[in-house]
Chain A
Amino acid sequence: MDNVINLKINGKEVTAVKGQTILQVAKENGIDIPNMCYSEKVKVYGACGVCVVEAKGMPKLMRSCATMAAEGMDIETETPRVVQARKVALELMLSDHKGDCRPPCVKACPAGTDCQGYVGLIANGKFDEANKLVKDKFPLPASIGRVCPHPCEQKCRRQAIDDPVQIAFLKRFVGDKALESASSCTPDIAADTGKKVAVIGGGPAGLSAAYHLRRMGHGVTIFDAMPHMGGMLRYGIPEYRLPNTVVDAEVKAIENMGVKLVNNTKINAEKFNELKADYDAVLVAIGAWTSSKMRIPGEDAKGVMGGIDFLRKLALKEESGIGKRVAVVGGGNTAMDACRSAVRAGAEEVYTFYRRTREEMPADKVEVNEAEEEGVIFKFLCNPVEILSKDGVVCGIKAQKMELGEPDASGRRSPVPVEGAFEIVELDTVIMAIGQGTKAEGFEELELTRKGTIVADEKTYMTSVEGVFACGDATNKGADIAIRAIGEAINAAASINEYLGGKKRTFAETSQYDLYSSVEPTFEQIREKHSDKAPVQKIVMSHDNAEERKTNFNEFMHGFTEDEAIREASKCLECGCMDYYECKLINYANRYDCQPGRLAGSIHKAGIEDCNEFIIRDTAKCVLCGLCVRACEEVTGNTALGLVGRGFDTIVAPEMCLALDKSKCTACGLCVSLCPTGALTEKPAMKKAVPLKQTREESVCRFCTNGCKTEVVKHGTALLKVEPAEGVVNLCHNGRFGVCDDDFAYIECGSDYEAAVNAIVEDIKATVNLDLSKPAVAISALHTEAEAKALMAACKKALGDVPVFTLSGGKKLSGKDLELSNEANKQNGKDTVSDIYFGVSADGLAKAGVSSDMNVAKNSTVILAFGEDIDEKTLGISVVKLPNVFEKL
């Protein structure tokens, strides 16, 4: 056959049909050539220059999207020259592409937890999915959600409007939810690898590392010196903040995954050697358990103790040995834990000495306020210079009075002594809470820093000894907040995994674009961008007042209710790009290790445009691939979008530069599907938009008898959107955006409507927990008249007299809808234009007593919608929780 062409791609002999481009041939043969401006749905354009390849004997690089395969070609798709050309093209695009790939909260979290993701899922009521998302990063949401100083919230942009989203408490909320339903969420565990890892230390770092290593299929044993796992979470944080039961429950879940827990076992040098011999890798995560000293006279008097030593004694239910008058020295969270615990342990006078002022205190402001409410007396600008004692027993503190001097290099105003001004306070006990250190006893074999912490490679987490890794408070810079140790544990686990697989991982290779974003906007800019959002009253978590709580160690913060959690989460401003998981640009930028700053320069004028009810344009992210413009012209014939301007100022704009909804746009969503970046995104099927990892399932559209093949895009059980399946050129508006409600329950129902309706009503009562007082029923015009009548009868039986109205994508199926779907059909190469409509028209339904007026449902609390299913098996009944979504349509 002379129609067949033989050529080589990357050394592989392949065949092509005459007229095929190199890109197409490569794709058929599983070779991925990156491309930004190509789509098989439109004519070749050749603008981005990313698809270039090199052919032997050809002096110039070729655009594979535009070059026909020819006999005898010898193509290479990833030569250094090709890579360089792609990189420059991508860097140029990135230089004029502005947007937050990831939100500030995620970027602020040392463990990279997907705050926006789980906050968004909570807002949509998807608590299970939210929990899964958190647990993808670490196993202790209920614990960490209670105690984390939440750097994420410091960066949360919502504070420009009212207060930051209470991200940590939301994390606690999903963590608690998961603990309530024991069944939920043992993560998937990979098949056993046969490798064994010993983790020394069962604190947040050790537990998290063990969790990840176990998920990767390794056998893991945690050794810990204390009677229970949890480390500082259990022994350094008082129970009124984090009850043991919570830590225990989360530890238990880790144990249930098959992690072996060995307590009361301190690892000395000899035991360490054994572990090294017996295990394939060892992770040292022993934390920082020694209290730092102030090095002032009298510090070794009886009655002076370290902050964490005091807290540990309380946790172990040992005699704390404090007197009636207690002073805590320090301004951090441990100092707050110590002074508030001292109050609870029965001290009558509790002081906190801090050498600067309240403003400079590193402790959480809430903690300081609560301590004060509980009666702690703050001695600001007071620096202890001597501990006074009588017969070797503490009797007071002599403190130097301070004042704030000039700001230092870091901008903090440093305290300077006020000449000759001292204060003496009489005391029984002094608790030093000024810092922690590590004593790496038994690990002397490892290289240590001058501070005594273990040296761990910043990229691989390996110590000076092959196969021994270390992370968390015990390493390098020393003690920090728990979530940072967890972040290190996540990376260390990945590194150990690579090591066990025979590779050496370096974290320089992790994608820098994950964290790429524009300059942080000012509060003013944030308010401008979100001018539609009014400040709302802060949701204060229910709690016990100071008088009640100061007498005991019971937890006094009681967690959010579901409603509170949803309301709180709904405040999220959705800062991070919705296209993060689909964006080709970020994907390639990471693949080719692009450096965003190298070609940085000015940025074209751009803004966000809320085009219509279905589409959002963020022109700052447009890379001018022209796909939207071309698709709109070539595929739909609408020419609703065009290119305007020349040179750098070229932009995509709706025709005549009007708003898109004033153009001929039919909201088919094709441009959104083709846009390789986040410049065009669809409004979400869920109530709140959330960037989420996606799975895609083939399905068939049921809006009309044409049955276009669709792809249902989901995250877990959450429906994100519907797109045309591969090979399908376009869907009509109904197919693309019709399925847009926030909660669908699918029931296999066949023709026994009564049973189906009853089942779903039971289900709502039992689990979904919805208010069924004012139900309504929506029936799609897809049903036959007989079916419609049967459905109505079934509903009447189950629910009483309910309003019934028609529904088809929330719309009455009109002649126009029919036209649209037929148009889509023609584009997809079907010549039969459907003329018989499956079911009855709106008029027909009206005859069966079904109103077409959706207002009848406005006041309903819940709607059962029949006929709007999204996959073939479950011809379905859908429950629509919030009737007001219909106002959207």
Chain B
Amino acid sequence: MLRIVVGEGSCGIAAGAAKVYNRLESLINDGVLKDCELSVTGCIGMCYLEPIVDVYTDNERITFVKTDEKFAELLAEKGLGSEEVNAYLIPQADVDRLDKQTRIALRNCGNINPEKIEDYIAAGGYEALKKVLSGMSQDDVINVIKVSGLAGRGGAGFPTWFKWNAAKSSPGEEKYLICNADEGDPGAFMDRAVIESDPHNLIEGMLIGAYAIGAKEAVVYVRAEYPLAIIRLTNAIKQAEAKGYLGENIMGSGFSCKMRIKAGAGAFVCGEETALIESLEGQRGMPRLKPPFPAQSGYWHKPSNINNVETFANVPWIMANGGEAFSSMGTEDSKGTKVFALTGKIKKGGLVEIPMGMTLREVIYDIGNGIKDDKEFKAVQMGGPSGGCIPKDLLDTVIDYKKLGATGAIMGSGGMVVMDETTCMVDMARFFLDFTAKESCGKCVPCRLGTKRMLEILTRIVNGEGKEGDIELLEELCLSIKDGSLCGLGQTAPNPVLTTLKYFRHEYEAHIRDKKCPAKQCKSLISYTIIADKCKGCTLCARNCPVEAISGSVKQPHVIDAEKCIKCGKCKDNCKFNAIEIN
């Protein structure tokens, strides 16, 4: 009996997993593939290898990558172990990459069927909840979390036990537990992966949290752009209710808790906890003044606790394995593991979960396999638009809240964008600022107007219209916005600019004073020319130019009309003789 499991996270589906699944299914139905059982699982984090198919024999798991319909047919035709099928085997290097990770939050992702509670239970699921409900007091639970050293994974890294304890100790009968699954950072998908691939893990973590603070109602605020996550979580909630893990008198313990989902309207700022609460209450998503903190006055002005998906996803493991097991991993300051979404100019991107204390170099080179096209590493942006960049000479910084903070970047929620020599740092800062400026809720003056003015200054710098004094003005605005904004969005928005100014100030100066873009990216500051000596007159460039800016006859050196050129770079990409240069 073979068990065939197709990876159907959003990434797998995007890569064509559904087609593979359907083909396999029809082959099984037609009796071509015999003695097989077909199921799905979530994302294992190696998105560049999708669609991934795992085949479980009685005693081993064989992983096939970048599969297609052909693979299904070959499997049916030639059988497991055949040369043709083995061509799809996962490369050893990728297996090693997985081995270098430590998976706690993602422990079931890609391994179990997220649509079946039985799979979760078989993997030890709901044992932690059982343990908690059979005799642990609220304080006992909070204490285990305290020992574990778990800190919020949503960005700020605040000790989880402290928030739980504050919510528990707040007077009042009616309390709420909220899960923040708004995940608005561009490029981040840690939370989506957890919900899509292991929804019961989240539910169990939340129930333990709800028990600890004394909440009878829990809400998951998911961004509406995550339809698959919403479907799987809805399904999981139903299953858990049917099993008596959710609802009245859970497992006969007397503890009751309802859970529901709220689809968020998709504004980045709604991920900020107080804005999220406003949004839950049906108001415009705008942050509230703190204090009072949600633990004192949150949802409907009742004591509330908000945690991130990944935070909750660690909880069942911690309860099952003990706080010490978690805190034994990591550094003095940061315990356990952290999930990152590794993207950008990296060879092997994807979702990775690593123990705290690893260096950036290890993550980027050992797990991510280094820089695409073997270009020069330039910097890594941590924490998305709220974070900062870390340059090459700080690559040995270890992953730890304090150490990362000291560079000017942040741990953040897990975005890790790798940049190479061709990235213009000014333009990068502009890109992130464009995001925050648009996403500002518009409430406070420094954030709404300050980010806009910064964006305008950055835009004029990359357009070659920068003026002396612009850097100083940027710095002044950065400080005013950091100091004067109400919520984290505004307070952190200047980080990309501050860190690039700190590590790459010369790039700003080159744009402003010399009207040059050192990375040769800013269109207003570059021009394309053909080196006559190298040009063989193959006409390829001229044929590819979308605006017919290139002229020249066959076998004669070509020329680019700078007036017409729109600097799309197609000619350079197509030239086989390296005859086109950027000035």
Contact = CB atoms under 8 A, between A and B. Distances in A.
B439 A647 contact: yes
Interface in A18-73: 44-50, 52, 60-61, 63, 66
A171 B65 CA distance: 89
Interface residues of B, number: 29
B284 interface: yes
Contacts of B452: 601-602, 647-648
A650 B448 contact: yes
B449 A47 contact: no
B438 A646 contact: yes
A646 B267 contact: yes
A88 B476 CA distance: 9
A47 B287 CA distance: 10
B487 to A, nearest CB: 10
Interface in B462-481: 473, 476-477, 480
A601 B439 CA distance: 19
B486 A624 contact: no
Contacts of B461: none
Interface string B22-56: 00000000000000000000000000000000000
B446 A89 contact: yes
B445 interface: yes
B453 A601 contact: yes
Given A95-B453, A601-B456, A60 B483 contact: yes
A623 interface: yes
B441 interface: yes
Interface string A611-645: 00000000000011010000000000000001101
A47 B284 contact: no
A89 B483 contact: no
Contacts of A626: 443
B289 A61 contact: no
A347 interface: no
B446 A650 contact: no
A239 interface: no
B442 A643 contact: yes
Contact of A650 (B442, B450, B483): B442
Contact of B445 (A44, A47, A598): A47
Most buried by A among B269, B286, B442, B445: B445
Contacts of A88: 446, 450, 476-477, 480, 484
B486 to A, nearest CB: 6
Interface in B427-452: 437-446, 448-452
Contact of B442 (A48, A60, A624): A624
A646 B449 CA distance: 11
A269 interface: no
A92 interface: yes
B449 A92 contact: yes
Contacts, number: 95
Nearest to B438: A647
A48 B449 CA distance: 11
A843 B340 CA distance: 77
Given A85-B480, A650-B442, A643 B284 contact: yes
A224 interface: no
Contacts of A741: none
A723 interface: no
A92 B446 CA distance: 7
B572 to A, nearest CB: 34
Contacts of B477: 88, 599
A256 B444 CA distance: 56
A93 interface: yes
A623 B476 CA distance: 21
A648 B490 CA distance: 13
Nearest to B284: A643
A44 B289 contact: yes
Nearest to B457: A601
B293 to A, nearest CB: 14
Given A52-B484, A85-B483, A601-B456, A93 B449 contact: yes
A650 B285 CA distance: 13
A568 interface: no
A647 B286 CA distance: 11
A45 B450 CA distance: 19
Nearest to B442: A650
A96 interface: yes
Interface string B323-359: 0000000000000000000000000000000000000
Contacts of A92: 445-446, 449-450, 453
Nearest to B447: A647
A83 to B, nearest CB: 12
Interface in B270-286: 284, 286
A61 B269 CA distance: 23
Give the residue among B437, B452, B473 with the most A Cβ atoms within 10 A.
B452
A47 B444 contact: yes
B444 A95 contact: no
B483 A61 contact: yes
Contacts of A598: 473
A47 B486 CA distance: 7
A96 B442 CA distance: 13
Given A49-B446, A49-B484, A88-B476, A602 B456 contact: yes
A282 B404 CA distance: 70
Given A61-B483, A646-B439, A646-B442, A95 B284 contact: no
Contacts of B456: 601-602
A623 B445 CA distance: 8
Given A95-B453, A646-B439, A648-B452, A89 B484 contact: yes
A452 B571 CA distance: 71
A599 to B, nearest CB: 5
A602 B451 CA distance: 12
Contacts of B289: 44-46, 63, 66
A631 to B, nearest CB: 16
Nearest to A599: B453
A746 to B, nearest CB: 44
A228 to B, nearest CB: 58
A89 B480 contact: yes
A93 B445 CA distance: 7
A759 B430 CA distance: 75
Nearest to A63: B289
B381 to A, nearest CB: 21
Contacts of A63: 289
Nearest to B285: A646
B533 to A, nearest CB: 46
Contact of B441 (A95, A602, A646): A646
B486 A648 contact: no
Contacts of B473: 598-599
A624 B437 CA distance: 16
Contacts of B446: 49, 88-89, 92
A646 B445 contact: no
Most buried by B among A50, A643, A648, A649: A648
Nearest to B456: A601
A89 B490 CA distance: 14
Given A92-B445, A92-B446, A646 B440 contact: yes
B467 to A, nearest CB: 12
B439 A48 contact: no
Contacts of A599: 449, 453, 473, 477
Interface string A279-323: 000000000000000000000000000000000000000000000
10 pairs of A and B residues whose beta carbons are closest in the complex: A650-B442, A92-B449, A49-B484, A648-B452, A88-B480, A647-B440, A601-B456, A46-B289, A647-B438, A47-B444
Given A599-B477, A648-B448, 5 more contacts: A46-B289, A49-B444, A96-B449, A647-B442, A650-B448
8 contacts: A47-B445, A85-B483, A88-B484, A598-B473, A646-B438, A647-B441, A648-B440, A650-B441
